[in-house]
Amino acid sequence: MHIGYSFELQKPYPEKNLAFTIVELLIVIVVIAILAAISVVAYNGIQARASVSETASFANMAVKTLQAYKAAEGQYPQISGCIGNGYIDRTGDGSQDCRWNYNGSVWTVSTSLNNLLDKYVQKGSVPDFYALVPGSGYIGLQGATYYYNPAATLDGNPQHDWIVYAVNGDTCPVGPFYERVNWPHLVTNSSVTRSYAFEDDSACWIPLR
């Protein structure tokens, strides 16, 4: 007599569901979003520091250029204007502008100033960064400007010659400087205002000695 046996093979482990649950998917999405946000913040910080460094280098070049001119010529130029070329015509008047506002007060590239500084200037490209400073309308500043005003004083003393530039943040990397709450120390003729309100950008004024 033949006796048959029936065997059922048992799997050593129960089957697992390999699909993600909704909770797991949500956790992955949240982690990816956090990493993306951190990356964006880090990238923006690197960009901001690079922009400040570029503008500071350009402002420092402008100061050295004007000091070299004075050392050779005995005095600073008596013409205001943008330092260098490569600015954008932001007012539509056909000139390159390094300072502009809605009230029509504009500092432009001056061919006469550039001709005076040509043999002293250290070549450098104008920074792309420009500041929009709220005030009467708004004040826009890019690169560096040489500002000459024979009526200007600083703390009661004559101070006719300035380099003006702008950076993002509340610290001016090239100085000595007068910015934000320190501006009341700057007294000029009545046609020049210094009552600007700031947000994220700083306008920096360097008195040239």
Residue whose C-alpha is closest to residue 158's, from 116, 189, 182: 189
Calpha distance 208→161 (Å, rounded): 5
pLDDT of residue 183: 41
Q: What percentage of residues in the chain have a pLDDT greater than 90? A: 23
Rg (CA), the chain: 30
For residue 146, give the H/E element and its range.
strand 144-148
Which alpha helices (DSSP H) does the chain contain, by range?
Answer: 22-73, 111-117
pLDDT of residue 184: 38
Greater pLDDT, 87 or 197: 87
Give the residue extent of every domain in the chain.
Answer: 29-207
* Per-residue model confidence as pLDDT tens digits over 14-52: 555 566 788 888 888 888 888 888 877 776 666 667 778
Report the chain's mean pLDDT, rounded to a whole number. 76
Side-chain-facing half-sphere of 39: CA atoms under 13 Å:
6
* Per-residue model confidence as pLDDT tens digits over 125-142: 788 887 776 555 567 888
pLDDT of residue 21: 85
Q: Binning pLDDT at 50, 70 and 90, where does residue 81 land?
A: very high
Q: Binning pLDDT at 50, 70 and 90, where does residue 4 land?
A: low
pLDDT of residue 11: 56
Query: Whole-prediction pTM value?
Result: 0.70
Calpha distance 72→117 (Å, rounded): 11
pLDDT of residue 78: 95
Residue whose C-alpha is closest to residue 202's, from 181, 186, 185: 181
**For residue 122, which phi and psi values (nearest 5 degrees)?**
-90, 120
**For residue 93, which phi and psi values (nearest 5 degrees)?**
-100, 5
Calpha distance 11→83 (Å, rounded): 81
For residue 82, count CB atoms less than 10 angstroms from its CB and return exposed for 0-12, middle for 13-18, buried for 19 or more.
Answer: buried
Q: What is the DSSP string of 65-105?
A: HHHHHHHHHSS--S--EESSS--B--SSSSS-EEEEETTS-
Residue whose C-alpha is closest to residue 121's, from 174, 161, 56, 68: 68
Greater pLDDT, 6 or 64: 64
Around Cβ 107, how many Cβ atoms within 10 Å?
21
pLDDT of residue 165: 87
